Amino acid sequence: MSGEAELLKKRARLYAQPPACSDMPGGDLIAVFRIGGSRYGFGIKHVNCIKPLDRFAPLPCSPPFVYGVANLRGRICPLIDVKKVVEGEGIEGKARYMVVLEADGVKVGVPADEIVGIFPKPRELKSCDSEFVEGMSDDGTIVVNVESFLRSEAIIVSEEV
Amino acid sequence: MLEQLLEVFKSEAEEHIQRITQMMLQLEKGEAGEEALEELFREAHSLKGAARAVELERISETAHLIETIFSKIKSKELSLSDEIVELVYEGLDGIAQMLERGEEGFDLEGYASKVNGVLSGSSSEDAEERSITPSPKAEEPKPRPISERMMKVDVSKLDLLMERVGELVTLRVTVEERVKEAIRILRSFERIYRSIDCGLRDEFKEAISELRRFIFNLRADCFDISSLTKEIEEGVKSLRLQPVSFLFNSFDRMVRDLAKREGKKVRFEKAGMETELDRKILEELREPMAHLISNAIHHGIETPEERKKAGKPEEGVVKVAARSQGDKVLIEVEDDGRGIDLEKVRESALRSGIISREAAEEMGDEELLRLIFKQGVSTAEEVTEISGRGVGLNAVWDKVEKLKGSVAVENRPGKGCKFTLCLPMTIVTTKVLVVKVGGAMFGIPASFVERTLLVKPEEVRRLDGRTVILYEDKAIELVPLAWLLEMGEPEIEEEEFKAVIISSGSRSVGLAVDDLMREEEVVVQGFERPLLRVRNVLGAAISADGRIITVLNPGDLVRSALKRRPSFKGKPEKPEPKTILVVEDSVTTRTLERNILESFGYNVLVARDGAEAKEILQAVNCDLVVSDIQMPNVDGFELTAWIKNHPNLKHIPVILVTSLESEEDKKKGLEVGADAYIVKSGFDHEKLLETIKRLI
């Protein structure tokens, strides 16, 4: 119960963050999470929900970036380790949350360790050599282009025996 | 027999009760006239007759009392006062109770004296007498004309059919996969053909085009089977569809009773009654809907005075509506009451400790509204019989989630509240065997499970680093499921362990597991993008306890087991599999030999006699021939002689197999050039396998 209270509290705080110091009024917001030792940001309009990662199962015979599958309101939702896909090194141990991302009808859960907050999307991003990363902010947050991430061939699993 | 009869009676009685309730409500509202009374009388009368037919005397007696009340109203000796209406309902409830708990579950004597009291008070003296004398034979209910267009079917039969269809669907997928594999094999033959440059090119080409024709015909048949299966699936699904009116109408009484008890005026409106849903879903929805409706009346709708003050009509409205949207059905429960008081939600959540004060203060309306589905949150100030226990909406949420649906709330403070349940129209379940491996649960579709067994160490044979067990005269390869699923080592424990034999097509494999859990009916959900196809996994299901069961793909498992054998110590990488031609006229022996050899990693071709063997040997490269001796057309000796005299084939080793040990035969075999001569007694696989290994 206390875990839940903690979560709700966090979530409430997250939503309560004023879009302070926004140099772009009405500009895009990103939700930022700590995943392993990195920070990842996703455009808020693609964040469907954030849930504690309790009901999930690992998926055998799948590539390492597939963290497992989770029960999302009675539907099976794949969990994709975004850190593994981007950095080659995955999240360690059990993640506490799943961030459900949605774009073009594709729904994927991303395991995350901590909710950092909601911030305006930085204007200046250092470009990264990745098809689905928009870039990196000054504080090291990797801003993911959710649409191309979810559509990317890199996360497709299609294997025959 | 009797039990079946009682089931039939029960469903009939429930229909009568439902119809009587329906008409009583119409009468009360003044929506029905004299003819309804006639109908009521007939319903009660039929109920009485039916109960007597199955010798449920007390139910029959109760129905008789109700019938008597209706007859008195009909003859205007009684009027339909509130008291009388209550009395009828009490009787109906009594019958329902007796149906549920047996005939002792109702105080018939008390009820009879109450009814007789009312009846005698009204005028007629013969009431008491009537209530105990059975009605004369002439009054027995006439059988209702049987509708020619409809028939009643036992629901359990439909369920069973549905289950089988679920299995058929999985099987269909496997067959489609198999055809794909056949095409892949054809392609590799075509590649071989292109690199052949000996004199057999034309014959091989002919054989390939024949194979191609065969496979493509097979594929066409498969398409037909697929579309038929789909049609059957749709058909069976539609058989289980029922209009929501079945569900909605069952709430009439509840709304009336609750409103009355709370001193509220409530109009119950229903819309979209013809919308259809799977009957199982309808059944499962009864409880959550009853909860939402009673909440609406108890918490939502205000008393007439309050409503007047708020400028609303005295009569409140509770509306249930259904409509379909694609393959989903939306069900709404709406009221025009006071709406949800978010302050109360906040307080309740605080009281129950779900959230901290700090968090509670920061929460927005949306966030708070979602809290009402949490355990322990309720806006009810006291505990009432039906709602307000604080577990209600939480249970609604759970139930709907289990049905793969969702719940949304729309709150208009002071004006009302609307709950929308979004549900799938149909569900297909599959039976799976749940096994435990490495702490995780896996489901294997039960239709592929041949049997489960406890394997003792002495039953396990080790050959060439592979582990096999003998099952029904077949050597079955045994692999740890954990290893197939890439979760563990290929080691088989030295102790006793549990195994599941699965078969797909003609091939079987034994899977060693940590534990066998149970069989379970689940809805298997296929994965969606980005998981287009996962090796060995068909999909996942949510178990009754909310856990995820990964459902395995039996066809893949068999293929994986036969393909990816554990590599054994001290030996280098396995070379290309050798091809063995099995020549045998008995189909049983042929299949047996093929299974054994295949399970040891050989490519196996078969021929029914020596003549067929000759054709194959000229068309395909074989590494070894295993042949029977007695065969029609060309026998084993003749075949061996032919091979050993053929310029291109004489290097191929030939093993002659016979069931009769005869020195003469053995001598003759060696004379014609056979490399080995094996006598099979009860079929000794190991001898054959060893000989093959020695020769190639």
pLDDT per residue over B233-250, tens digit each?
788 878 878 889 989 988
SS (H, E, C) B449-493: EEEEEEECHHHEEEECCEEEEEECCEEEEEEEHHHHCCCCCCCCC
User: What is the per-residue pLDDT across B520-557, written as a single tens digit (0 to 9) for each?
Assistant: 878 788 788 888 889 999 899 887 667 889 999 888 88
* Minimum CA–CA partner of B481 in chain A: A60
Q: Residue B604: which of B614, B589, B591 has the closest Cα? A: B591
Assess whether pLDDT exceeds 70 at residue B505: no
Whole-number Å distance between alpha carbons of B155 and B161 = 10
Nearest to B559 among A4, A55, A161 (CB): A161
Does B110 share its domain with B30?
A: yes
| Cβ neighbours of B530 in A, within 8 Å | 78, 80, 106, 108, 150, 155-157
B367 found inside a domain: no
Same domain, B192 and B134: no
| Percent of chain B at pLDDT exceeding 90 | 12
Cβ(B250)–Cβ(B273) below 8 Å: no
Which residue, chain included where needed, has tokens 């007439």? Answer: B304
From chain B residues 92-151, the ones with a CB under 8 A of any chain A CB are: none
DSSP structural state of residue B299: I
Residue with tokens 């506490």: A96
Number of structural domains in chain B: 5
Q: Among residues B113, B139, B165, which one ends one of the domains?
A: B139
Q: Which domain holds residue B325?
A: 243-341+379-424
- Do residue B353 and residue A55 have CB atoms under 8 angstroms apart? no
Q: DSSP secondary-structure letter at B303? A: P
Q: Calculate the alpha carbon distances from B207 to B274, B582, B612, B642 in Å.
A: 59, 18, 13, 22
- Is any Cβ of chain A less than 8 angstroms from the Cβ of B539? yes
Distance from CA of A62 to the nearest CA of B (A): 6
| Phi-psi category of residue A35: left, alpha or beta, with phi > 0 → left and psi -120 to 50 → alpha | beta
| Residues B393, B288 share a domain | yes
Residue B370 lies in a domain: no
A157–B530 CB contact, under 8 Å: yes
Helix axis angle, B82-101 relative to B2-29, nearest 10°? 160
Question: What's phi and psi for B88, nearest 5 deg?
Answer: -65, -45
Q: Select from B356, B364, B527 the Cβ nearest to the Cβ of A76.
A: B527
> Which residues on adjacent β-strands are paired with residue B676?
B655
* B465 assigned to some structural domain: yes
| CB pair distance less than 8 Å for A161 and B560 | yes
Chain A positions touching B546 (Cβ under 8 A) are 55, 71
Residue B146 lies in a domain: no
**Among residues 562-621 of chain B, which lie with CB inside 8 Å of chain A?**
563
B130, pLDDT greater than 50:
no
Tell me: pLDDT of A42 over 90. Answer: yes
B385 has a pLDDT exceeding 50: no
Please judge whether B528 and A107 are an interchain contact, meaning their C-beta atoms are less than 8 angstroms apart: yes
- Contact call for B534 and A62, based on CB within 8 A: yes
Interface of B with A in 468-487 (CB under 8 A): 485-487
Answer yes or no: do A157 and B536 touch at CB < 8 A.
Answer: no
Question: Is the distance from CB of B150 to CB of B186 less than 8 angstroms?
Answer: no
User: How close A138 gets to chain B, by Cα (Å)?
Assistant: 30
Q: What is the CATH number of the domain that holds B11?
A: 1.20.120.160
Mean pLDDT of chain B: 80
Task: Note whether residue B570 is domain-resident.
Answer: no
Is B349 part of any domain?
no
Cβ distance of A106 and B548 shorter than 8 Å: no
Give chain A positions within 8 Å (CB) of B363.
8, 12
Burial B221-233 (b: 16+ CB within 10 A, else e): ebeeeeeebeeeb
Residue B253 and residue B388 share a domain = yes
Does residue B352 fall inside a structural domain?
no
Mean pLDDT of B169-173: 68
How deeply is B274 buried, as exposed, middle or buried, from its count of CB atoms within 10 A (0-12, 13-18, 19+)? exposed
Closest CA of chain A from B535, distance in Å: 6
Looking at the domain assignment, is residue B373 inside a domain? no
Task: Report CB contact under 8 Å: A74, B536.
Answer: no
Band the pLDDT of B124: cuts 50, 70, 90. very low
Query: Is there a single domain that holds both residue B476 and residue B516?
Result: yes
Query: Do B591 and B539 sit in the same domain of this protein?
Result: no
Instruction: Provide the edge-to-edge strand list for the sheet that holds B515-522.
Output: B515-522, B430-437, B440-445, B548-552, B537-542
A5 CA to chain B: closest CA distance, Å?
A: 5
Interface of B with A in 5-34 (CB under 8 A): none
Interacting residues of B31 by C-beta distance below 8 A, sequence separation 6+: none
Q: Could you tell me which chain B residue has the CA closest to the CA of A80?
A: B530
Sequence-separated (6 or more) residues with CB below 8 Å from residue B337: B296, B299, B300, B301, B302, B316, B416, B417
> How confident is residue B389, by pLDDT bands cut at 50, 70 and 90?
very low
Q: What is the CATH number of the domain that holds B531?
A: 2.40.50.180
**Distance between CA atoms of residues B378 and B393, nearest Å:** 8
Residue B267's pLDDT band, with cuts at 50, 70 and 90, is very high
Residue B546 and residue A55: Cβ atoms within 8 Å?
Answer: yes
* B109 and B34 within one domain: yes
State whether A78 and B527 contact (CB < 8 Å). Answer: yes
Question: Which one of B529, B533, B563 has the shortest CB-CB distance to A159?
Answer: B533
Q: Which of A27-41, A114-128, B115-129, B411-425 has the lowest mean pLDDT?
A: B115-129
- Residue B532 and residue B440 in one domain: yes
Q: A147: closest CA among A111, A105, A113? A: A105
Which of residues B687 and B257 earns the better pLDDT score? B257
CB-CB under 8 Å, B486 with A157: no
The reply to whether B269 and B408 lie within a common domain is yes
How many residues in chain A?
161
> B111 and B19 in one domain?
yes
Residues B174 and B266 in one domain: no
Q: Which of B585, B573, B581 is nearest to B659 (CA)?
A: B585
Here the CATH number for the domain that contains residue B623 is 3.40.50.2300
Choose between B404 and B208: higher pLDDT.
B208
Q: Which residues pair with B193 in a beta bridge?
A: none
DSSP state at residue A90: -
Question: Where do the domains of chain A lie, and which CATH numbers do they carry?
Answer: 2-24+45-155 (2.40.50.180)
Residue B316 CA, chain-centre distance (Å), reads: 42
Kind and range of the H or E element at B518? strand B515-522
Q: H-type helices in B102-198, by residue range?
A: 108-122, 126-132, 155-195
Which residues have C-beta within 8 Å of that of residue B305, sequence separation ≥ 6?
none
Lowest mean pLDDT among A54-68, B123-137, B338-352: B123-137
Residues B444 and B526 in one domain: yes
Contacting residues of A for B485, CB less than 8 Å apart: 60-61
Angstrom distance (rounded) from CA A79 to CA A56: 9
Residue with tokens 């990264």: A128
Mean pLDDT of B341-355: 78
CATH code: domain of residue B389:
3.30.565.10
Question: Which site among B531, B547, B556, B558 would you substitute to test the A interface, given the most A Cβ atoms closer than 10 Å to its Cβ?
Answer: B531
Residue with the larger pLDDT of the pair B506 and A102: A102
- Token representation of residue A103: 């774009």
The reply to whether B238 touches chain A by the CB within 8 Å rule is no
Interface with A, mutate which of B351, B355, B367, B479 (most A CBs under 10 A): B355
Residues near A142 by beta carbon (within 8 Å), at least 6 away in sequence: A38, A39, A40, A41, A86, A128, A133, A136
Q: Which helix (H) or strand (E) holds B321?
A: strand B316-325
Angle at B448 between CA B445 and CA B452, to 5 degrees: 95
Interface of A with B (CB under 8 A): 1, 4-5, 8-9, 11-13, 15-16, 55-62, 66, 69-71, 73-76, 78, 80, 106-108, 150, 155-161
Q: Which residues of A touch B367 (CB under 8 A)?
A: 8, 11-12, 15
Q: Report CB contact under 8 Å: B486, A59.
A: no
CA B450 centroid distance within chain: 19
- The last residue of one of the domains, among B528, B563, B598, is B563
Nearest CA in chain B to A66: B531
CB contact under 8 A, A156 and B535: no
Query: Judging by DSSP bridges, how do beta strands B579-583 and B603-607 pair with one another?
Result: parallel
